[in-house]
Structure 1
Amino acid sequence: MQKSQIYSELNAIFCDLFDDDDIKLKPETSAEDVEGWDSLAHINLIVAIEQKFKIKFKTAEIESLHNVGHLVDVIYSKLN
């Protein structure tokens, strides 16, 4: 799977989870950029991503995420 496909899938997850069809993810997008992205939403987001991509994140990976670009890199590394 290409990174562009991962962004597309992630964007759909974000739009659904945050009930906002106007979300357009970029590599630099972070929690400060998305209304409602708090700690509980973060957990729900991680679970949704793990289910969609059939992967599992390690705690250290989750704690090290700074933005969507880094998230995509981690997902990409797990899929390839």
Structure 2
Amino acid sequence: MEREQILKDINAIFIDILDNEDIVLTNETTAADVDGWDSLTHIQLVVAFENHFGIRFTTMEIQGWENVGAIVACISSKC
């Protein structure tokens, strides 16, 4: 799967979970850039990513995510 499509898919997941149609993610986006992206929401996002893409993440992978680009790269490596 191409990184652009992964970014579009996770953007849609963010919009759904955070109930905010105005979210536009880039590879550089961090939790500090998105209102409502806190630790609880992060868990919901991880579960949604896993379900959507049919993959599982390790704790080490999740802890290594510094921005959306890192999430996209991790998903890309598993798809």
Question: What's the TM-score once normalised by structure 1's chain length?
Answer: 0.97
**1:57, distance to aligned residue in structure 2 (A):** 0.2
- Paired residues in the alignment total 79
CA distance in 1, matches of 2:8, 2:74: 15
1:43 matched to 2:43: yes
Displacement, 1:17? Answer: 0.6
Provide the aligned C-alpha RMSD in A: 0.5
Report the Cα distance in structure 2 between the residues aligned to 1:25 and 1:35, rounded to whole angstroms: 12
| Shift of residue 69, structure 1, vs aligned partner | 0.3
1:5-20 to structure 2, matched below 5 A, reads 5-20=5-20
Gaps of 5+ in 1: none
Shift of 1:24: 0.6
Superposed displacement of residue 31, structure 1: 0.4
**4+ aligned runs moved over 2 Å, structure 1:** none
Percentage of identical aligned residues = 52
Q: TM-score, normalised by structure 2?
A: 0.98
Gaps of 5+ in 2: none
